[in-house]
Amino acid sequence: MEKPFRRRDLLGIRGLSAAEIKGILDTAENFCEISTREVKKVPALRGKTVINLFFEASTRTRTSFELAAKRLSADAVNISVSSSSVTKGETLLDTAMNLDAMAPDCIVVRHSSAGVPHQLAKVSKAAIVNAGDGANEHPTQALLDAMTIREHKKTIAGLSVAIVGDILHSRVARSNIHLLTKLGANVRVAGPRTLVPDDFQYLVDHDLQVCPHIEDAIVGADVVMILRIQRERQDAAYFPSLREYAIHYGLTNERLDLAKKDAIVLHPGPMNRGIEISSDVADSSRSLILDQVKYGVAVRMAVLYLATGGSTIS
Amino acid sequence: MGDHINLVEKSRIMDATAMKRAISRLSSEIVEKNHGAADLYLVGIRRRGVPLADRMAAEIEHLEGVRPLSGILDITLYRDDLSTVGASPIVNRTELDHDIEGKTIVLVDDVLYTGRTIRAALDQLMDFGRPKKVQLAVLIDRGREHRELPIQADFIGKLVPTKQTEIVKVMLREFDDVEAVGIFERPVE
């Protein structure tokens, strides 16, 4: 018997089983149709309150969660760090407990420190959904990536997926590595040695190939996932210059030709055109970046629905 | 619905032949009442309303020479018991690929009991537009005394007065081993 996803919190992909992940994806597929309606709203979460607590800048993810909540008829409140009491010296847990006293049903949290959602889950009565914690996890991004792959490749098991770029600092990469290996994909990671430590092969129990060159990862791949170069971390000199990065690790049409003919390209956004991905590739029909954004809303609707009481099996 | 409990079948009220006849009569009545199949849009309610709507569409095509539009409603997200403790229904896909504006919608379900499913279906339907008319066709009507909302069917396969403790199961070959309608009860402890 398949285990249902009926967890209160979604803190990461790491703790989920393959069956639970599939259950969330199946549910999300059924939520897609709602966003195509004239009236893009269903009454499922009427009377529920969702708080988007974002300690880090975000446009796409926050908007996506907000739309997801609103399309389910929940009341969504957005709190960003610049307007919160944190700037007045309040601790994280005090902020959480104060929000909790207002009886929200779900708190969606993003923070630059790993483990913050896990801490909140311990003190809060609301369901906690991780919208990105430091370099740890970004579970809904991995789920929407998986959904995009499934829509185009039908299944994830057996696919070769190349993840290229700043793996070290990327929560997107970690969540994706967990999810894709759990579902049976063959995952290869590549990037500058400083940003792809060999230790990464021990991140998961499954095989994870660490490739020294981008070409090794891309050859024969079904999916090429490009990560954003986090310019804000440039001071640490992980590589000499953006220009050099573009030359050695940027995804160009030429490099993409090494992948399978029907390979698809994913990028979690925001893109640095001409650095990690060339404009030719980004605007080509193989790039599914806007599909990812579209499925993001459906995935978050499914996650909010499941976190506040829904189930993936009867 | 309740498939996991060991229910005892008290009586069989329809066999495959009787169901076929009832579906065929319902289809004729739908065409007769609407003076043909123009603007007809059959919408099955998941799960068991879906194959019933399909069969009626085929029957109407046989009678009129044109197949009416058909679609599927999944009412999970419109249920009125979603927020109560213990409710954890799975969400399935709604498929209304054609515009419902100006159409005569015939909602199709297997059993009409409290009327709450139909209320949810009506609410969802209105979110898709403004149909000209909405009618309701059910294979089994368990009787008005069970209704918790002012909802009645326009087309009824069989009226089966039942007790509240009884469960009416429509079994269809798409989901079940047999094709029949039976009255079941929970075994006495």
For the segment B127-150, what is each residue's pLDDT rounded down to a tens digit? 999 999 999 999 999 999 999 999
Per the structure block, which two tokens stand in for B8? 């005892």
Please answer whether residues A245 and A272 qualify as being in contact, where contact means their C-beta atoms are separated by less than 8 angstroms.
no
Shared domain for A194 and A131, answered yes or no, is no
- Residue A162 domain-assigned (yes or no): yes
B35-55 burial: b if 16+ Cβ within 10 Å, else e: eebeebbbbbbbbbbbbbbbb
Shared domain for A61 and A201, answered yes or no, is no
CA distance B100 to chain A (A): 12
Cβ-based burial of B125 (10 A; exposed 0-12, middle 13-18, buried ≥19): buried
One-letter identity of residue B35: H
Please answer whether residues A162 and A175 qualify as being in contact, where contact means their C-beta atoms are separated by less than 8 angstroms.
no
Shared domain for A131 and A181, answered yes or no, is no
- Region of A309 please: left (phi>0), alpha (psi -120 to 50) or beta: left
Chain A residues inside the 8 Å CB shell of B89:
310-311, 314
CA max distance for chain A: 56
Q: Least CA distance to A34: which residue of chain B? A: B94
The confidence band for B5, taking pLDDT boundaries of 50, 70 and 90, is: low
Cα atoms found within 13 Å of the Cα of residue B109, Cβ hemisphere only: 26
Please answer whether residues B73 and B125 qualify as being in contact, where contact means their C-beta atoms are separated by less than 8 angstroms.
yes
Q: In whole angstroms, what is the distance from residue B63 CA to residue B86 CA?
A: 46
Structural domain boundaries, residue A303: 18-136+293-307
Of B77, B90, B123, the CB nearest to A311: B90
Shared domain for A276 and A299, answered yes or no, is no
Q: What average pLDDT does chain B have?
A: 91
| Long-range pairs of A29-34 with CB within 8 A, sequence gap ≥ 24 | A29/A147, A29/A150, A29/A298, A29/B93, A30/A302, A30/B74, A30/B91, A30/B92, A30/B93, A31/A298, A31/A301, A31/A302, A31/A305, A31/B91, A32/A295, A32/A298, A33/B93, A33/B94, A33/B95, A34/A71, A34/A298, A34/A301, A34/B77, A34/B94
- Region of B65 please: left (phi>0), alpha (psi -120 to 50) or beta: left
The mean pLDDT value for B19-39 works out to: 96
Instruction: Return the ∠ at Cα A306 (arms to A302 and A312), rounded to 5°.
Output: 85
Shared domain for A124 and A165, answered yes or no, is no
CA distance A66 to chain B (A): 18
One-letter identity of residue A5: F
- Residue A121 domain-assigned (yes or no): yes
Q: Of all helices (H) and strands (E), which one includes residue B113?
A: none
Q: In whole angstroms, what is the distance from residue A163 CA to residue A231 CA?
A: 18
Shared domain for A61 and A184, answered yes or no, is no
Query: Rounded to whole angstroms, what are the CA distances from B21 to B35, B59, B142, B158, B183?
Result: 21, 11, 19, 11, 19
pLDDT at A309: 73
Per the structure block, which two tokens stand in for B131? 């149909």
pLDDT at A312: 54
Of B74, B88, B93, the CB nearest to A310: B88
Does the CB of B87 have a partner CB in chain A at under 8 Å? yes
The confidence band for B151, taking pLDDT boundaries of 50, 70 and 90, is: very high
Shared domain for A61 and A174, answered yes or no, is no
Question: Between chains, do B77 and A313 touch, taking CB under 8 Å as contact?
Answer: no
The CATH number assigned to the domain holding A87 equals: 3.40.50.1370
Does the CB of A41 have a partner CB in chain B at under 8 Å? yes
Shared domain for A167 and A101, answered yes or no, is no
Please answer whether residues A268 and A227 qualify as being in contact, where contact means their C-beta atoms are separated by less than 8 angstroms.
yes
- Residue A10 domain-assigned (yes or no): no
pTM: 0.88
CB contacts < 8 A, A to B, total 57
pLDDT at A234: 64
- Name the phi and psi angles at B178, rounded to 5: -120, 170
Does the CB of B47 have a partner CB in chain A at under 8 Å? no
- Residue A44 domain-assigned (yes or no): yes
pLDDT at B187: 81
Instruction: Please name the residues in contact with B185: beta carbons below 8 A apart, sequence gap of 6 or more.
Output: B7, B8, B10, B165, B166, B167
Please answer whether residues B44 and B9 qualify as being in contact, where contact means their C-beta atoms are separated by less than 8 angstroms.
no
Please tell me the CATH code under which domain B16-160 is placed.
Answer: 3.40.50.2020
CA distance A72 to chain B (A): 8
Q: In whole angstroms, what is the distance from residue A289 CA to residue A173 CA?
A: 16
| ipTM of the complex in this document | 0.77
Mean pLDDT per 10-residue interval, chain A, length 314 residues: 59 94 93 90 93 91 97 93 70 89 95 94 93 96 98 96 94 96 96 87 83 94 94 74 91 96 95 94 95 96 88 51
* Integer Rg of chain B from CA: 16
Q: Which of B28, B25, B30, B36 is nearest to B136 (CA)?
A: B30
**Cβ neighbours around B112 below 10 Å, total:** 25
Shared domain for A66 and A191, answered yes or no, is no
Q: Of all helices (H) and strands (E), which one includes residue B10?
A: strand B8-14
Shared domain for A230 and A104, answered yes or no, is no
Chain A residues inside the 8 Å CB shell of B91:
27, 30-31, 302, 305, 310
How many domains, chain A? 2
Question: Between chains, do B90 and A47 touch, taking CB under 8 Å as contact?
Answer: no
Q: What is the pLDDT of residues B77-135, one digit of tens each?
A: 998 776 554 445 688 889 999 999 999 999 999 999 999 999 999 999 999 999 999 99
Shared domain for A194 and A99, answered yes or no, is no
- Residue A12 domain-assigned (yes or no): no
pLDDT at A231: 77
